[in-house]
Amino acid sequence: MLKYWFGAILMICLAGGASAQDKPVNIRPDVASVTVQTEAGPVEISRIQDNAHQITGDFALTSRACPPFCIQPMSPAEGVTNIGELELLDMLADSEAMVIDSRTPDWVAKGTIPGAVNIPYTVMTDQLAQLGCEVGFDGWECDDARRVALFCNGLWCGQSPTAIRAMIAAGYPADRISYYRGGMQSWQLLGLTVSGG
């Protein structure tokens, strides 16, 4: 009798799994894709439509040595807004906002979020003019600073938190900074479009 029930449960699970393979993979129930403008022209961001797809490569690693790859705090600094993928997509579509890949070029070469601008965390405070700040007598004046979102490799990556803290110390308003903590690892885990790499 136990074998019968086990077999029946197995068949139900397999049947349910087979039908799931044919289901579309949208971003939201009502949104299949989002088109963003990039330097190379428009790019459509969507999710990989293979229901059996699995993440591989660098972003499949779960246990990186700490230090340097320690779990990052939810918020890198007071006043910074934490965002997820949907909010990041909204910012990518907003011409007034800028999404910044704060990773070093070697990581960016492996792929990035379409529409993101690369400003490495190592030079962030030298590049604040790109974000609407002006050089003043006592450093940066950021009264007209853009809304920005920074990301790096993921929950274990300290590049964007380091950049965010440096920006705030240089005078950038924390309330104009968003932090996408999930970074490239979460982006790829959700099967979202990657440019390059």
pTM of the model: 0.87
Q: Which range of residues forms the domain containing residue 82?
A: 26-189
Has residue 142 been placed in a domain? Answer: yes
Q: Assess whether pLDDT exceeds 50 at residue 11.
A: no
In a domain, 108, yes or no: yes
Number of domains in the chain: 1
- Domain membership flag for residue 140: yes
Q: What is the CATH number of the domain that holds 64?
A: 3.40.250.10
Residue 11 lies in a domain: no
Nearest to 89 by CA among 155, 15, 28: 28
For residues 113-130, give the mean pLDDT: 97
For residue 116, tell me if it sits in a domain.
Answer: yes
196 within some domain: no
Tokens of 22: 């044919």
pLDDT tens-digit map of 18-75 = 444 678 999 999 999 999 999 899 999 999 999 999 999 888 998 999 999 999 999 9
- Max Cα-Cα span within the chain: 84
Span 76-116, pLDDT tens digits: 999 999 999 999 999 999 999 999 999 999 999 999 999 99
Contact between 111 and 167 (Cβ < 8 Å)? no
Residue 195 lies in a domain: no
| C-alpha distances out from residue 175 to 47, 108, 190, Å | 30, 26, 28
How far is C-alpha 186 from the chain's CA centre?
A: 7
